[in-house]
A and B are shown apart, each in its own frame.
Chain A
Amino acid sequence: DVKVTQSSRYLVKRTGEKVFLECVQDMDHENMFWYRQDPGLGLRLIYFSYDVKMKEKGDIPEGYSVSREKKERFSLILESASTNQTSMYLCASSLLGQGSSGNTIYFGEGSWLTVV
């Protein structure tokens, strides 16, 4: 079974803090993604990566950065957390890299971040 593991399920951080959300997948997938999910807005793509050290902006990258130093690990970084970044964050991965489409994306359990 594909396993996407997010290191923290629930976090509470203060405004201005630097926040790291970690994600690890165990299926040697090339693609990894970070989404945020908000009521009424559905899932919105923040960043994705199709290879180590590669990253691409999604639909809402402002206020976020990412790091992909190893194939299995994709980190989302909030440089200076703000209250409007309170949300549920979902990491995902899929097999095969750029040049294909339609591959199934597998998700982690989500990280609930509250910024106070």
Chain B
Amino acid sequence: AQKVTQAQTEISVVEKEDVTLDCVYETRDTTYYLFWYKQPPSGELVFLIRRNSFDEQNEISGRYSWNFQKSTSSFNFTITASQVVDSAVYFCALSEEMNRDDKIIFGKGTRLHILP
């Protein structure tokens, strides 16, 4: 069973619109970590955020915000007032406490197009 599901394969929005990228995860572990990475066209995956399972506070960083809800096993990512530079592939990922080798499980990514 897929452990990290990013149901949106591709999204296009017009610049300045808000957009939410969905991430649903599956784990039986009580301690786990969730991540978001951004992959611009250059290829490098850029770390955006790490959140542990005991911290359900939402986080805001500039135009980026994350909504972590354990009740629905979701860790959604919202970009407010999107810009063309936000165009990238975004990956959600999960690391489980019982997996002690730091292997993280990635979703298949959501390709975001911000249209000028």
Partner-B contacts on A (CB < 8 A): 9, 31, 33, 40-43, 45, 48, 50, 56, 58, 88, 90, 92, 94, 96, 98-110, 112
Contacts and interface: CB of A to CB of B under 8 A. Distances in A.
Top 4 nearest A-B pairs (CB, nearest first) are A102-B33, A110-B43, A42-B108, A107-B45
B50 A48 contact: no
A37 B97 CA distance: 25
Interface of B: 31-33, 35, 37, 42-47, 50, 52, 91, 95-104, 106-109
B97 A101 contact: yes
Nearest to B98: A101
Contact of B43 (A48, A58, A112): A112
Nearest to B42: A109
Given A41-B108, A42-B108, A102-B33, A96 B102 contact: yes
11 contacts: A42-B108, A42-B109, A90-B45, A96-B102, A101-B33, A101-B97, A102-B95, A105-B104, A107-B44, A107-B46, A109-B43
Contacts of B102: 31, 48, 50, 94, 96, 100-103, 105
Nearest to B52: A102
Contacts of B103: 33, 45, 48, 58
A40 B50 contact: no
Contact of A31 (B32, B35, B44, B101): B101
Nearest to B49: A104
Nearest to B53: A102
A49 to B, nearest CB: 10
Nearest to B104: A105
B37 to A, nearest CB: 8
Contacts of B95: 101-103
B96 A101 contact: yes
Contact of A98 (B52, B98, B100): B100
Contacts of B50: 102, 104
Contacts of A45: 103
Instruction: Tell me which of A100, A104, A106 has the highest count of chain B C-beta atoms within 10 A of its own C-beta.
Output: A104
Contacts of A88: 43
A50 B33 CA distance: 19
